[in-house]
Chains A and B, each alone.
Chain A
Amino acid sequence: MTYSRRLISAGLMAAAVGFGGHVAHAARPGTTAPAFSLKDVDGKTVSLASLKGKVVVIDWANYQCPFDKMHYESGNLPALQKKYTGKGVVWLTIHSSAPGKQGYHAPADMKKENVRVKNAATYVLTDYDGKVARAYDAKTTPQIYVIDKAGVLQYNGAIDSIPSAKADTLAKAVPHGANAIDAVLAGKKPSPAATQPYGCNIKFPDS
């Protein structure tokens, strides 16, 4: 009995791993945002479950990526973080660069980097093994997710409409990310709810 049960659970696990290799559309707007629990740069554990009842915004980041550099160093992202945390939004910056890869900083260094780029998020989280990035099907830095108070993903995509690493495009671009946050705060569905994110690859660990 136990043997066969073990066999079954082994089979299920194998199946889960098989499918887990590529979880397609895990993060389509309208679906429940995948649960996660990550450490911030101070060692504090932050779980999505504990943030229920609040609008949560995630920006995937890599401070060394030219696109993030532009959005941070031009002051665009820090300004958004300030504006929306002021409106009760919980803003999470998640770093998924694996150790040894571009954008990786140990927590202590990451704290200094946060100050340097004037990050104004509620928490800056590290996802060194890239598991949460995979669960969210995150592809680029920057990439923006907006989760409503009920824990449903409402926006997944680009920060704005012009793929560029040059700050002079900011004024011309449609701010898809900010528009989505405004919509969710107003209890509406963002439009568009999904856009093609642009930027650098997320630097996953070599497998």
Chain B
Amino acid sequence: MNRWFLSLCLMLAALMPLRALAAERVALEHTTASLVSEYSQIDGKSPFWVLFRLDIQEGWHTYWINPGDSGLAPALEWVLPEGVEAGEIVWQPPHRQAFGPLMNYGYSDVAYHLVQITPPKEGLTGALPLKVSASWLVCEEECIPEEAELSLTVAVGDGNVTSPQAGEIKLLVQSASLEALPVTELKSDDTSLTLRLPYQGAQPQDLYIYPREAGVIETVAAQPFDLKDAILTVRLTRGMLEVPDAFEGLLEVRDANGLRHYALTASDPTPAIASNDVGTGLWLILLSAFAGGIILNAMPCVFPVLSLKALAISRKAGQDDVHIRRDGLAYTAGVVISFLLIGGLFLLIRAGGDAVGWGFHMQSPWVVTALIYLLFVIGLNLSGFYDITLSFGGGQSLTQKDGWSGSFATGALATLVATPCTAPFMATALGAALTLPAVAALGVFAALGLGLAFPFLLLSWFPAVLRKLPKPGPWMETFRQFLAFPMYLAAVWLVWVLGQQGGITAAALVLTGLVVLTLAVWVWRRVSGGKAKAILAVFIALFSLFPFVVLTRGGDALVERTDAAFSVERIEQARAGGEGVFVYGTAAWCITCKVNERVALETAEVQAFMAQNNITVIRADWTNADPAITEWLAQFGRNGVPLYVYYPASGEPVVLPQVLTPAIVREKLS
């Protein structure tokens, strides 16, 4: 044997691992790299997962996307047929590896890198060759760069055929799909960085935050934390680099249930309006808020109140145009100021880090109860059961003097009862308001208010129109009494809402309260005798307030949770199982939602359609505050219900319109 030849062979053999031939599996000095697909045959249309796997020599490790203080994340360069796209690496939660004063984030034993491959729209035929040039750094204490070219050919045929690795890949997709927690507050000074986020889990024994960007924190510094009122506060020690505007990363928590991971996302997942084009974007939002406000006038909960007002004003038509205009202005001011007040409260709570949404005040049984009383008392007034001047009653004794305050109060009342009816335009506008600076957000609320007041303002400004209305006469008393009925119905609806929140007991309590209240009014009217009568009536009226004492906030446990209750894991699980998922955001107090459920979602037609197509239906019930749902709404730039989203088994979620018909549902879900 020629010695030269032998040594040449040896040299070639030594070079082989470095210049690895393209294969599905390549063994190198410290790692073995492999490329596998979820499917051995694909349908050529739908996206699918491939896995780039590194089996690592004992004692060695590779890196996460942020490698920590040193090291380097693996890089993949794909060579794919035209039109085929490879996504970014989807990472598994990393481990920490400490070396003296330094720390790395990475993996030992085995590192999994999931990549989603998307075929072109027009589809593929034949076979799909996948080729990737991968390079990575593998370190013990010393580091060795390794690289390999891997290739894999997947057949294209009639439907997907799972490969032997499909089960493993499915599990990896699940373990990489983490529940997202929005970082609602990010404060930094010279040395520290404090994060606050809503957190529903148990008290952590230990936690660690991995920032997605390197250099932002001191990796080895302790991360003291505090969990209070479901808000988790974590203090990090700042690193050398500037804190990014949006903090992203991974939260690792150890609690009584073991180790869990969450994805930390920026609090504003919808960069709806970049600050430099606030100008144009803002006008559009203000305009849609205004339009939404106008639509509110037709809402079942607002209409009776407004009819009353129109009634009162038409009474004066032709007498005193100046006063009518003044009334219109006072009413507008009442609406706008109430909207601004609610908006201000909303911003305050937002600043406090709580996730809130429009209609949030309806989540308190106290507010609902107060509204029931109010609607009922107005109803009694309209029915003619009593004749005290309720400023918003707008009845007989509306003098010029109390016209101002009366109109103002009507505006405030209209605002209060209008809010649960989140009309389609409002959802978008309010979703945007969440992400806007405070002044602009208040502008949105003001525009909504203006919209609500607008038709009435118009009417008062052109009394000529008013004069076209029927002449005042005895018919008005009939009409007034008739309007009591929508009021009672609105009260019944609210009792039902309360029943959803607090159960049958709460509803019974409030109904009893209404009877006692009626008794108080009756005493007022029937029993003679000045002061004593008044004191007795007030005393009885006070009794009617007992539900407020008994009904504490919450009663969450009483809300019926069906087996399709909302959770992010549920959505992911079903999707990972290859099923489409339809999620509907609803609330007992949301009329639009209930209408959609009756006319579309709960019809036999739609239910059968869902069953046939194996679509999992998940209900996100927002009747009571639920941060997970608030967060989900925010993902779609929304801030109120209804919201209808269809998640196909793979691909982007589809948002459905806010007014549904069976046909729309079928069209969007297929």
Taking beta carbons and an 8 Å cutoff, which residues of A are in contact with B? 22, 24-25, 27-28, 64-67, 101-102, 130, 134, 137, 139-140, 156-157, 163-166, 194-204, 206-207
Contact = CB atoms under 8 A, between A and B. Distances in A.
A22 B101 contact: yes
Binding site of A, secondary structure by majority: helix, strand, loop or mixed? loop
B270 interface: no
Nearest to A165: B145
A195 B241 contact: yes
* Max chain A C-beta neighbours (<10 A), residue from B71, B135, B218, B238: B71
23 contacts: A22-B101, A22-B218, A22-B221, A24-B218, A25-B240, A28-B240, A65-B142, A65-B143, A66-B145, A139-B70, A165-B72, A165-B137, A166-B135, A166-B145, A194-B241, A195-B215, A196-B241, A201-B70, A201-B102, A201-B141, A202-B70, A203-B141, A204-B101
A74 B100 CA distance: 30
Contacts of A163: 72
Contacts, number: 83
Interface residues on B, range: 20 to 34
B100 A207 contact: yes
A24 B191 contact: yes
B186 interface: no
Contacts of A196: 213-215, 240-241
Interface in B101-140: 101-102, 104, 135, 137, 139
B145 A198 contact: no
A24 to B, nearest CB: 5
Interface of B: 67, 69-72, 99-102, 104, 135, 137, 139, 141-145, 190-191, 213-215, 218, 220-221, 237-238, 240-242
Give the 4 A-B residue pairs with the shortest CB-CB distance, closest first.
Answer: A196-B215, A204-B100, A139-B69, A165-B145
Contacts of A164: 72
A47 B104 CA distance: 32
B142 A194 contact: no
B99 A201 contact: yes
A157 B239 CA distance: 12
B70 A199 contact: yes
Contacts of B137: 66, 165
B100 A200 contact: no
A195 to B, nearest CB: 7
Nearest to B99: A201
B469 to A, nearest CB: 70
A115 B526 CA distance: 112
A67 B102 CA distance: 18
Contact of B70 (A22, A156, A194, A200): A200
Contacts of B213: 196
B143 A66 contact: yes
Contacts of A102: 141-142
Given A166-B145, A201-B104, A140 B69 contact: yes
Contacts of B143: 65-67, 200-201
Nearest to B237: A24
Nearest to B66: A196
A165 B145 CA distance: 7
Given A66-B145, A207-B100, A25 B191 contact: yes
Contacts of A22: 101, 218, 220-221
Contacts of A157: 240
Contacts of B100: 130, 204, 206-207
B194 to A, nearest CB: 15
